[in-house]
Amino acid sequence: GAGVSQSPSNKVTEKGKDVELRCDPISGHTALYWYRQRLGQGLEFLIYFQGNSAPDKSGLPSDRFSAERTGESVSTLTIQRTQQEDSAVYLCASSAGLLSTFPSYEQYFGPGTRLTVT
């Protein structure tokens, strides 16, 4: 079946521009996560959506970052006024969410969007 897809796969943008990254989760997965991974670094949690609950935005690094999700489908991560330190791979993952039981918390990751801010 189809996995998590992300677009674009690569994005080069000029400092100060806005970018929008898209994630299509696995159908039926109620939970969706965004992570950032800088070169040679670990995964940095950004935001988590679970069904119709208020999202957990505790990982967003600044108010330039925002994300939306329509129902239990597509999510977009928007970065406004991009800075060079925003350069990273942005990974999206989905899982069966709260209704799942161990070990079905598995998060399935998309291939990521590599963002380069020049």
Residues forming the site for other proteins (CB under 8 A):
31, 33, 35, 41-43, 45, 48, 50, 53-54, 56, 91, 95, 97-98, 102-103, 105-107, 109-112
Residue among 80 and 114 whose Cβ is closer to other proteins: 114
C-alpha distances in angstroms, 10 versus 6, 66, 72, 101?
10, 19, 25, 35
Residue among 16 and 28 whose Cβ is closer to other proteins: 28
Minimum CB–partner distance for residue 74 and other proteins (Å): 18
